[in-house]
Structure 1
C-alpha cells in the first residue's frame, strides 16, 4: 500500500459510470416495477453505496477511507440501456476513484442479478472514470461527454 502520511488533506471526488445493455422488455419491466425481486434501481443504489464504503475490502491495495458522500444515479432514456453513474466524495489524503468505479460495478452486477431470470444476455460495461478532483495530481476530466451526461440522468 502506498504511504500517504506526508500527503495533504484535500477535498476529493470522483465520478464513474457504467451501462447495462438489456432487452427492451427487461428495461421496461425495471421502469414499471415488474421485476419479481423488487425495485431494481433502489436495490442497485444501495449496493453501489455499500460497495463504495467497502472498496478497501475488495481491492487489496486500497486505503480504507471515510467517505463523506456517495450518490448513485440512473438514466434509462435509451430503449435498451440502463446507465449508472456514481459520485463519491471525501476529505482525505488519497482519492476516491476506486470507490466510484467499485460503486458502479456493484450497482451493475446487482441489476444483472435482479433481472437475470428475464434476460441472461445482459452486458455490463464499459466501466470508466469520468472525472476526479483534488489531490496532488490535480483534476481529471475524460475527454468528451459521458453517455449519462448526453442522455440526462433520472432516478
Structure 2
C-alpha cells in the first residue's frame, strides 16, 4: 500500500506546495478533434456559418478558458501564462484543434493546454449545432475525441 496522496490529506483537500520549486520555462502542446458532417465542414471552410467566424470565436474562447483554468480545476495553481497559440486544421471528416501554452513558472501548463483544446472544440460544436442537428434535434455525426497532451517541455533558464 503506502500510497501518499498529495491532494487529499486526512480528508481535507490540499493544493500541492510549490513554494520551494525553481521557476523554469514550460510548454505544453495539446490536441483534440471534433467530427462533423461534410456540410458543416464545408460551411466552416467557406465562412458561411450563420453565427459567424467559427475559428475566431473558438480561438477567443480557448484563450479565455486557458486563463481561467485554475478556477475550473480545483487543485490547479494560478500561473503566469506567457504565450498561447490556438490553431485549427480542417481534415476530411473532422477539425483538429492544437493549443500551445507557455509559461515561466514552478508548475506545468498541461491542464491549461487541455482546457484550451476542450473549450475550443465545445465552442465549435456550439457554433455549428444548428447545422449538425438531425430532424429530432440529435447530433448523430458530431463527436469530440482524442484530447491529449502531445508534448510537454520543461527547460531550465
Fold similarity call, TM over 0.5: yes
Moved beyond 2 Å, runs of 4+: none
Q: Distance in 2 between matches of 1:2 and 1:102?
A: 20
Looking at secondary structure, tell me which structure has more strand per residue: 2
Q: Distance in 2 between matches of 1:95 and 1:12?
A: 6
Who wins on radius of gyration, i.e. which is larger? 2
Q: Distance in 1 between matches of 2:52 and 2:100?
A: 24
SS at match of 1:7: coil
SS at match of 1:129: strand
1:3-152 matched pairs, under 5 angstroms:
3-76=17-90, 78-119=91-132, 120-121=139-140, 122-134=142-154
Question: Any gaps of 5 or more consecutive residues in structure 2?
Answer: 1-14, 133-138
Question: Any gaps of 5 or more consecutive residues in structure 1?
Answer: 137-155
Aligned length: 135
Query: Considering only aligned residues, what root-mean-square deviation do their CA atoms show, in Å?
Result: 1.1
Q: Distance in 2 between matches of 1:10 and 1:79?
A: 39
What TM-score, normalized to structure 1? 0.85
Which string of whole-angstrom CA distances, capped at 9 and with x for unpartnered residues, describes residues 99-130 of structure 1? 00000000000000000001133101111000
